[in-house]
Amino acid sequence: MGATVLRKIQFGKEGTAGTATAATTVMAWPAGATLNDERELVLYDQAIGQAMPVAGSYQPSMMATVEVPDTPATFEQLPYWFEGGIRKVTTPTADTGGSGQIYSYAYANTAAPTIRTFTIEGASGQQEREMYYSFVEEFSISAASNEAWMISGRWRGRAATDGTVTAAQVVPATNERILFNKTSFYCTQTSIGGTAMTATLLGFTINVPTGHRAVTTADGTNQFTTTVWAPDTAPAGQITGELIVRHNANGEALYDAAVVPGTTRKLRLQSVGATLTTAGSSYTYKTVRIDGVIEFTEIPNLDERDSEDTYALPFRFVDGGITGGLDSPVFLVVNELAALP
């Protein structure tokens, strides 16, 4: 039966891009994340001397997607988004002396990255459909006071085909949500990190177009042939975001930066989770971190939240290498997984 509660999305890491593989884990996503068959269906008309059309259609291209609505991000499953959209980390770096595993993803700037592809199974109580050669086209990370960090976005793959769900797969027993209230906020003129801006940040959004696209060629099939990294030119290809800040001394300093053309700030958003089994030389807690150099893109007007003055500060990530910063943003996750399931 097709009861909504029986839906699930399962992932398997592909050894070779486009070669289907069995699922090895279940994603902790809401029922709204479904595998959608997006094959193109063309109906054609024929002038054959009668009013009623004769049935006729063709399918020039096959495609499928999974659109994921806002769902709480976790230390254990957030790396799947980065693997499928930013770059492939074959083996994480073990934190010296500790149990922490460091997954670091620098957004490509001057050379195309290699990403990991997945076979995605979309199961219901009635039927399983799957798409292979799956990758991330775009994703957004957002958070606000008293909430979890949220992740949403679009996965794209080859045709949705009927199959049999890989049995006995479950959501990882340890799958800790990333919390906004445990986030530290840095937005300085000097080095990334340093002194946190306390009592300031109320929320943020970061929108990432990965630049990866499906390419279809005359290759003996109506499915796409391969993927390429071909980011759009500005502004469509920019990584953008927004900071919601209180209008305190820190908020005023950020406003001052926004009104001066060409001013950049070094941004760090960092949230910590449970204590690692063994502390290492760099990390004691599970950690997620976003680092990069930003430039504000609009002059904000005074706003309000809960009867308190606030600013909404739109920004874009820029190449900060010439000022001692990063040339592109880096997304980092520390958990205790030596490999993604």
Give one DSSP letter per residue of 274-295, joined into a string.
EEPSS--SS-SEEEEEEEEEEE
Amino acid 104 reads: S
Q: Does the pLDDT value for residue 323 go beyond 80?
A: no
Please say whether the beta carbons of 62 and 310 come within 8 A.
no
Structure tokens at 24: 């090895």
State the Cα–Cα distance between residues 245 and 185, nearest whole angstrom. Answer: 10
Number of neighbours of residue 83 by Cβ within 10 angstroms = 22
State the Cα–Cα distance between residues 259 and 51, nearest whole angstrom. Answer: 65
What pLDDT score does 233 carry? 75
Average of per-residue pLDDT values in the chain: 96
44-85 tens-digit pLDDT: 999 999 999 999 999 999 999 999 999 999 999 999 999 999
2-54 tens-digit pLDDT: 799 999 999 999 999 999 999 999 999 999 999 999 999 999 999 999 999 99
Q: Does the pLDDT value for residue 237 go beyond 90?
A: no
State the Cα–Cα distance between residues 104 and 334, nearest whole angstrom. Answer: 9
Please say whether the beta carbons of 202 and 145 come within 8 A.
yes
Please say whether the beta carbons of 183 and 290 come within 8 A.
no
Planar angle of CA 52, 58, 60, nearest 5 degrees: 150
State the Cα–Cα distance between residues 82 and 99, nearest whole angstrom. Answer: 21
Amino acid 10 reads: Q
What pLDDT score does 1 carry? 63
Please say whether the beta carbons of 97 and 278 come within 8 A.
yes
Q: What's this model's pTM, rounded to 2 decimal places?
A: 0.96
Name the one residue in this structure whose structure tokens are 């003996």: 220
Instruction: Return phi, psi of residue 144, to 5°.
Output: -155, 165
Instruction: Return phi, psi of residue 251, to 5°.
Output: -60, -40
pLDDT band at 232 (very low <50, low <70, confident <90, very high): confident
For residue 340, the SS3 value is: coil
Q: What mean pLDDT do residues 285-300 have?
A: 97
Is residue 211 exposed (0-12), middle (13-18) or buried (19+ Cβ within 10 Å)? buried
**Over the Cα atoms of the chain, what is R_g?**
22
| Domain residue ranges in the chain | 4-41+62-335
State the Cα–Cα distance between residues 231 and 113, nearest whole angstrom. Answer: 12
Closest CA to 166 of 112, 213, 200, 122: 122
Name the one residue in this structure whose structure tokens are 């005074």: 302
144-179 tens-digit pLDDT: 999 999 999 999 999 999 999 999 999 999 999 999
Q: What mean pLDDT do residues 244-253 have?
A: 98
